[in-house]
Amino acid sequence: MFDIRKILHRAALVGALGIVILGGNALAQSGNNPYRVIYDWEQLPEGRSLGVVSGVIPDSDGEHLWIMERCGGNGCAGSNLHPIHKFDLDGNIVKSIGAGVFAWPHGFDIDDQGNIWVTEGAPVGDARGEPGFSMGMGQQVFKLNQDGEVLMTLGEPGVAGDDESHFNGPAAVHVAPNGEIWVADGHRGGNNRLVKFSPTGEFQFQIGGGAGSESKEAARFDDPHDLKMDADGRVLVADRGNSRIQIFDQQGNLLYIWTQFGKPSGLFVNSNNVLYVSDGLSGVERPGWRDNFGWERGIRIGNAATGWVETFILDHAMDSGSGAEFLAADHNGTIYAGEVGRQRLAVYRLVR
């Protein structure tokens, strides 16, 4: 097991990629990287700007994409703007929902019935959550229909905790095909745990968490930032603070720890079990905040079953700001990535 991980770790380090700027777009040059990055894909109403993109999910019809952003800025508390938008693949908005529901939306998912799930990701002490906390908002997971009607909530609004009915910085949510709900609870100083609920919201079990919960130990977490499920039902958790992906079965047993995908902020697994991982923070100097020097920022694409990294898209900007954190790919293989520190959406299209 450990020898294989060493091999995979080396695979992620090979092939630093050059970048050529072409008419405002960047073409990554490598034998295995056929992507061109495009900006300003989204067509917003006049006067409306795109906020921090914190979620991207393809619609089941294959012709649309759902994007969640923070109301034109980095928060929605007090805003009357819709944060969730349905786009066609040409970048046109066909529907917007969710105004007034969230303060600092972070995690995003759409279940097999088409319901939309959102987490409020700010933990206690995070200044980005304070406007919402002052309004009695935050620390919840929401289930909505596609008209924006709230169908169910988990957690108590504005109240943090680490028991069976409270959260502290729930960063991500993913709903299994059988309706069971998985929550990564612990964004940057929060509970640092993975929690499983029944389809109707009853607590089943947790992994990690507890006093002094930030931990590098196996099956413990430090800033679990995203989670997804692969074709075999394995739960993949982006354990960002520890620069690794931890993989669990449905009973919560740890199966693997992968370090070959850098410092993962966002995960996406498509119908062919291709794993897309965004690493927007490796090598960014943030004293006291788990730097990952020696690794390059970018998007790594691999096999969700084996963990083999097959493609690396180098972060085209290479500035000091954070790059891609939340991402997804449509049925054409086009990647949509929210660059949080730059407050923009990067669209990577296959050109060969």
pLDDT of residue 19: 34
Class of domain 2-350: mainly beta
Tell me what the pLDDT averaged over the chain comes to: 89
Q: In this predicted structure, what is the pLDDT of residue 250?
A: 97
Residue 210 has a CB neighbour count (10 Å cut-off) of 12
For residue 264, give the nearest of 303, 304, 293, 237 by alpha carbon.
237
Calculate Rg over the CA atoms of the chain: 19
Compute the distance between CA of residue 70 and CA of residue 4 in angstroms, rounded to an integer.
40
End-to-end CA separation in angstroms for the chain: 35
Residue with tokens 């952003």: 69
Q: 112: burial class by Cβ within 10 Å (0-12, 13-18, 19+)? A: exposed
Residue 8 backbone phi and psi in degrees, to 5: -65, -35
Short-list 333, 332, 261, CA closest to 299:
261
Which residue ranges in the chain fall short of pLDDT 50?
Answer: 1-31
Question: What pLDDT was estimated at residue 27?
Answer: 41
Give residues with Cβ within 8 angstroms of 253, minimum separation 6.
Answer: none
Predicted TM-score (pTM) of this structure: 0.91
pLDDT at 26 (0 to 100): 42
Task: Please state the separation of Cα 167 from the chain's center in Å.
Answer: 18
The pLDDT value given to residue 319: 63
Task: Report CA-CA distances (Å) from 142 to 44, 49, 115, 149, 287.
Answer: 25, 25, 10, 10, 34
Instruction: Name the amino acid, one letter, at 61.
Output: D
Residue 16 burial class via C-beta count within 10 angstroms: exposed 0-12, middle 13-18, buried 19 and up: exposed
